[in-house]
Each structure stands twice: as C-alpha cells, then as structure tokens.
C-alpha cells in the first residue's frame, strides 16, 4: 500500500519546463524559457567563479549583502526584502504561509502556471478571471475576488501573454480589493517594459501592508541557472516569509553573483535594448506573414496560428523543432492555437522568422 499525500496533491500536474532538446539536433536554439540570450553580466560570472573557492561554507542565511545591494540599486529598505530560490520559491512560500484548504485564489485567465500549482498545493480554489485581448481585466478580477479572496496573483507583465496593465490599473485593483486579500504583483519581466504608463508596484507595497512584489534574477540578469529571486513587502509579510523559508534557501554562489548582477546596470540596459530591437523585428516579421502577434512588454511573443490544417500552432512547433528551433507550446495555458517565442540573439531571431515564413508559405 502506498502512502497517500494530502487530498488534492495528486490532482496537480507537475510544471513542465520549456523543452531543451530537438531530437537529432546537436546544438538547438532554445527559445522556450524566456532566458536572456546575452548570457549574464561578466561581473556576475566573475563573482560566481570566485565563490567557487568557498563551497565548503554555508551561505549567509539572511542574504544580507544581497538584500543591501538590491536595496541600494532600487532605493528600497533591505529589511523589507526577502530572497528566495527563484521568485518561484517566494510564490510557493506565500501559498504555504497564507493559504488554507478551501481558500479562494484569483488570477487572470492566462496567468502564469505556477499560481495554479501554489493554490493546489494548499488545497485552495483557483478562480481565473476573464481577460480582454489577452490582458488582465481589473474589473473581472475584482468581480471574481469578491470580498473573500485570500490571494490575488497578477503577473505584470504576464507570461505567456506578454501583456501588462498600467500602474493606475494596478492601483485601482488594490483599492478595489478588501483589506483581507493579499495582492501579489509578480514583476519577473518588469525591467524589460518600455511603456510610459507602466510602473513597478514597489510604491503600492510601501502604502499597503497587503501588497507583495516579486522579482527575479532569471530574466534580465540572466542568472536562471542559479535560481534567485526576491520579494518586497511590509515587515509583517517579510517576517512571515522568513519563518517559512529554509534557513539557507539561497546558495552562496547565487548571493555573490546576484550582488554583482544587480549592480551591473550597464548589462541590464544592454539586455533591455537588445530585447527592444528583437521584439520590434520579430513583431514586424511575423505580423508581415499574417500571423497574429499579441503586443508584448516582456522578452517573448505570444504568436497565434490559424486553425487551418497545415498551419496550426502544433504543426508550426513540429516544423521549428525539426530545424533545431525550440519554442514553447502553450496548450497547458488553454492556448492550443498559440506558441510563445522568446526573443533570442539576432541570428536566432532571423532563423525563426525565416523558418516561419517558409512554414506559412508552404
Ligand atoms: C511571470 C513569471 N513569474 C515568475 C517566474 C519564475 O521565475 P524564477 O523562479 O526563475 O525566478 C517566471 C519564469 O518564467 C515567470 O514567467
């Protein structure tokens, strides 16, 4: 007889990361996980290498120097920051600390898949609020949340759609939610956004004790392998997260590389600029082929394919994979007609655009 986990755990479908292999191809182009095509800051790599001399030592459990560096760069109080093994861990910890079986959790329809996992792990109910043009709708979220949602998750910009809502809308969302509802604003792609009406929710987290903002080192900082993220919130929430996290949840090389990365604003700017150009190029190319491309503020594009046989998203995916170009099918998000394509290096973007032109013309 096998031991039974808590009710609901076996209903969870394990998260499926973006594919990394294309059968029969030795050096495929991986555009399936929204990684930074420019690598990471050379200073971060140097710090990582130097840290390899100290692998026998436990890291600083409070990641104090990393929090101080983040605080310095973003103008935030380090005491209101907690670091995690990717922002993913922080989302999980919020669920662990704040959700009980039966609690209501709200996201927007195509919200990041981890929110579903977080809710299910705690036996909470996930409600997905309708979106408008693949964009979160504050009115729909407020309606779904009512007066008893425990957590509302908003990725801004969102993955896999790439869409964002303006700061005034995030504020309207917070103002419309009751005090007993926590608003988690996941800003994994914030550093890429180049829109005048966009702003981080750090200010809201200063004003409201029930706002949590999460950030990651996996995207613009190019440190996905090291698993590093952080959350900014009221002291009371930070205190809770510090109680439920592992005592040494962030490893020593990640701390050292993270300190160098967050300070290397030049690398961040170069990454953002490369992305801006790549996004514009890919939008123009794919749009020119008659494909519908959702306007993205992140480092990837959601591309919609026709339902016509021979031109579908899954056929396009197979066509690209056969040429060593790995993108992300998003059927698990309820988007079987679309593919998510990360902005890559210029030559890789050209390869994807070229292959899709061939696919669409065939
Ligand atoms: C919206 C969003 N949030 C959070 C994450 C998790 O990032 P990490 O755990 O690598 O920090 C991702 C990663 O793809 C994401 O797309």
Categorize the per-residue pLDDT at 235 as very low, low, confident or very high, splitting at 50, 70 and 90. Answer: very high
Q: Are 250 and 228 in contact (CB under 8 A)?
A: yes
As a whole number of angstroms, the distance between CA 150 and CA 3 comes to 30
Sheet holding 335-342, edge to edge: 292-294, 300-304, 335-342, 328-330
Q: How far is the CA of 189 from the centre of ligand 1 (A)?
A: 8
Where are the extended beta strands (E) located within 88-200?
Answer: 104-108, 125-129, 131-132, 135-136, 149-155, 182-186
Supply the residue whose CA is at minimum distance from atom 1 of ligand 1.
Answer: 159
Task: Give residues (CB < 6 A) around ligand 1.
Answer: 34, 86-88, 112, 155, 159, 186, 188, 216, 218, 224, 229
| Whether pLDDT at 162 is above 70 | yes
Distance 159 CA to ligand 1 centre (A): 8
User: Has this prediction a pTM greater than 0.95?
Assistant: yes
Q: What is the pLDDT of residues 177-199, one digit of tens each?
A: 999 999 999 999 999 999 999 99
Identify the pLDDT of residue 189.
98
Ligand 1 atom nearest 85 alpha carbon: 9
| pLDDT surpasses 80 at 119 | yes
| Strand 149-155 to 104-108 pairing | parallel
Q: Is the pLDDT of residue 41 over 80?
A: yes
pLDDT bin (cut points 50, 70, 90) of residue 71 is very high
Quick one: average pLDDT of 48-74?
Answer: 98
Dist. CA 153 → ligand 1 center (Å): 13
pLDDT band at 33, cuts 50/70/90?
A: very high
pLDDT of 18 > 90? The answer is: no
Closest listed residue to residue 213, CA positions, set 101, 84, 96, 106: 84
| pLDDT per residue as tens digits for the range 295-313 | 999 999 999 999 999 999 9
**Which residue among 159, 225, 226, 302 is best mutated to probe the pocket of ligand 1, counting the most ligand atoms within 8 A of its Cβ?**
159
Q: Whose CA is nearest to atom 13 of ligand 1?
A: 188
CA–centroid distance, 113 to ligand 1, in Å, is: 10
Q: Are 50 and 42 in contact (CB under 8 A)?
A: no
Ligand 1 centroid from CA 44, angstroms = 20
Q: Which pLDDT value is given to residue 102?
A: 97
Pairing of strands 131-132, 135-136: antiparallel
Q: Strands, DSSP E only, in the chain?
A: 29-30, 81-84, 104-108, 125-129, 131-132, 135-136, 149-155, 182-186, 211-216, 229-232, 292-294, 300-304, 325-326, 328-330, 335-342
Task: Please list the residues that pair with 142 across neighbouring strands.
Answer: none
Is the peptide bond prior to 160 cis by the omega test (within 30 degrees of 0)?
yes
The confidence band for 1, taking pLDDT boundaries of 50, 70 and 90, is low
Q: State the pLDDT confidence band at 362, using cuts at 50, 70 and 90.
A: confident
Model confidence over 89-113: pLDDT tens digits? 999 999 999 999 999 999 999 999 9
Rg over alpha carbons for the chain, rounded to the nearest Å, is 20
Residue 8 has which token pair? 């609901």
């Amino acid at each position: 007889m096998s031991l039974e986990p808590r009710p609901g755990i076996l209903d969870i479908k394990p998260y499926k990361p973006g594919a990394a292999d294309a059968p029969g191809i030795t050096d495929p182009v991986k555009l399936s996980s929204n990684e930074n095509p420019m690598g990471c800051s050379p200073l971060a790599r140097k710090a990582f290498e130097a840290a390899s001399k100290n692998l026998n030592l436990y890291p600083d459990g409070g990641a104090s120097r990393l929090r101080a560096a983040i605080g310095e760069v973003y103008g935030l109080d380090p005491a209101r920051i907690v670091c995690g093994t990717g922002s993913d861990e922080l989302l999980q910890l919020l669920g662990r600390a704040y959700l009980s079986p039966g609690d209501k959790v709200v996201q927007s329809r195509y919200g990041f898949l981890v929110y579903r996992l977080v809710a299910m792990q705690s036996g909470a109910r996930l409600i997905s609020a309708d979106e408008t043009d693949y964009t979160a709708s504050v009115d729909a979220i407020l309606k779904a949340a009512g007066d008893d949602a425990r957590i509302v998750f908003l990725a801004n910009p969102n993955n896999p759609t790439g869409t964002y809502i303006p700061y005034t809308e995030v504020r309207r969302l917070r103002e419309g939610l009751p005090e007993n509802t926590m608003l988690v604003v996941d800003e994994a792609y914030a550093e890429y956004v180049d829109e005048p009406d966009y702003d981080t929710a750090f200010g809201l987290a200063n004003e409201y004790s029930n706002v949590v903002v999460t950030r990651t080192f996996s995207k613009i900082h190019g440190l996905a392998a090291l698993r590093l993220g952080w959350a900014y919130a009221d002291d009371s929430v930070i205190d809770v997260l510090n109680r439920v996290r592992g005592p040494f949840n962030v490893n020593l090389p990640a701390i050292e590389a993270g300190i160098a990365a967050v300070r290397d604003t030049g690398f961040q700017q170069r990454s953002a600029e490369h992305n801006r150009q790549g996004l514009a190029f890919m939008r123009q190319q794919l749009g020119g082929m008659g494909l519908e491309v959702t306007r993205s503020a992140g480092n990837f594009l959601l591309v919609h394919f026709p339902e016509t046989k021979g031109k579908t998203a899954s056929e396009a995916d197979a066509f690209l994979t056969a040429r060593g170009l790995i993108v992300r099918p998003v059927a698990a998000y309820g988007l079987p007609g679309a593919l998510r394509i990360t902005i890559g290096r210029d030559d890789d973007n050209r390869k994807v655009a070229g292959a899709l032109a061939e696919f669409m013309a065939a």
